[in-house]
Amino acid sequence: MKVLVTGAAGFIGYSLAVKLLARGDSVIGLDIVNDYYDVTLKEARLTHLRELGGDRFTFVRADFAQYEPLVEALSGLEFDRIVHLGAQAGVRFSITNPHAYLHSNLAGHLNMLEIGRHRGVENMVYASSSSVYGGNTKLPFAVEDRVDQPISLYAATKKADELMSETYAHLYRLPLTGLRFFTVYGPWGRPDMMMWIFTKAIAAGQPIPVFNNGDMYRDFTYIDDIIAGVMASLDNPAPDDGEVKAGGSTKPHRLYNIGNHKSEHLMRVVEILEEQIGKKAIIDFQPMQPGDVRQSFADIDAIARDHGYAPTTSIDVGVPKFIEWYKEYHGV
Ligand SMILES: NC(=O)c1ccc[n+]([C@@H]2O[C@H](COP(=O)([O-])OP(=O)(O)OC[C@H]3O[C@@H](n4cnc5c(N)ncnc54)[C@H](O)[C@@H]3O)[C@@H](O)[C@H]2O)c1
């Protein structure tokens, strides 16, 4: 199979490309390699993909939010399926940089739908986010729940992506699956996310900012479990059979949560980090941040039922694996 993976220089896109190459698929990785976080890390991921894939890995440096250049960049390249993981991620950055989200997540998502439609791909899987659940108080969050009250622009763009996708599934019968990821972590992770920020600060003996006085819960999902859910969605396009799908669509469009189905107290993760790094954290308690939610917790029944998805990595196993990689990557 030939798969176009957007965001291939990013955390999840890179991890998916590794898995696809390992099973013998060909990958076209597309990314603008922006400097939202350290470009060296993104380049290191790409170097690794080139080594792993050889002539089965093609890299395209392009901005998917600019349609004509995107079409041009992809001309002459064949692919059967698309996994659209490129985006402007991050809740807090969206408070101060709203236009980056309009560009990559709205214009970009529409452009990728257009590519999928005009290329007649067999399946397109795309990243949504657990943040669409906003301040919902019904736990765990299920794909049947209403998600009409986003509390960050990031969440609003992800919800808008789901709506645009529904329209394309209806008008063009393009098979689509939207994945609401829950706090992904693991090797080759993201330097702007809590796990990395805390690790760096604890190792350096600097204070860690803990929001809402530590009264926070997250469904932390290990990268390998996320990739298992993406692969299952990629291999099983939503059928165009008129039946009601996960998320409520009767078009070829499904929505799934991919989480670990465990809502962990933030301070428990801090404890594991302290054990693994061998230093006590200096805690700087701070108030809740705008756009942030107090708790996330994934109901994974839909993807478990349709694809047998079952996460296997608890934070007690996954966090040490992240720390092991972090030390190796930084040569410490
Ligand atoms: N990591 C998480 O915990 C998490 C949680 C929920 C949802 N998501 C979503 O999953 C997807 C992947 O996330 P990630 O953690 O790998 O993020 P990431 O930031 O590591 O990767 C995203 C990649 O997209 C690229 N990109 C951004 N705008 C682009 C554009 N206009 N054209 C081409 N490339 C562009 C960036 O350069 C980056 O390499 C994103 O859609 C994100 O919103 C991630």
CB 189 within 8 A of CB 197: no
The span from the CA of 286 to the CA of 273, in Å, is 19
Q: What is the pLDDT of residues 239-290, one digit of tens each?
A: 999 999 999 999 999 999 999 999 999 999 999 999 999 999 999 999 999 9
> Nearest-5° angle of CA 311, CA 314, CA 316?
165
In a domain, 266, yes or no: no
Residue 154 a catalytic site member? yes
The span from the CA of 157 to the CA of 122, in Å, is 25
In a domain, 31, yes or no: yes
In a domain, 145, yes or no: yes
- Among 177, 172, 220, 212, which residue's Cα sits nearest to residue 196? 220
Q: What is the pLDDT of residues 12-61, one digit of tens each?
A: 999 999 999 999 999 999 999 999 999 999 999 999 999 999 999 999 99
Look at the pTM and tell me if it is higher than 0.85. yes
Closest-CA residue, ligand 1 atom 32, reads 63
In a domain, 322, yes or no: no
Determine the average pLDDT of the residues in 203-217.
95
In a domain, 284, yes or no: no
Our mutation pick for probing the ligand 1 site, out of 5, 129, 293, counting the most ligand atoms within 8 A of Cβ, is 129
- Among 167, 159, 176, which residue's Cα sits nearest to residue 124? 176
User: What does residue 303 show for φ and ψ, rounded to 5 degrees?
Assistant: -75, -25
Of 154, 168, 309, 326, which residue is the catalytic one?
154
Indicate if the pLDDT at residue 301 is higher than 90. Answer: yes
In a domain, 230, yes or no: yes
The span from the CA of 103 to the CA of 197, in Å, is 26
Kindly give, in sequence order, each residue whose CB lies less than 8 Å from that of residue 101, ignoring residues fewer than 6 positions away. Answer: 88, 94, 153, 154, 157
In a domain, 138, yes or no: yes
In a domain, 191, yes or no: no
The span from the CA of 263 to the CA of 315, in Å, is 11
* Domain housing 256: 2-182+222-260+300-311
CB 312 within 8 A of CB 259: no
CATH number assigned to the domain comprising residue 86: 3.40.50.720
Number of folded domains that form the chain: 1
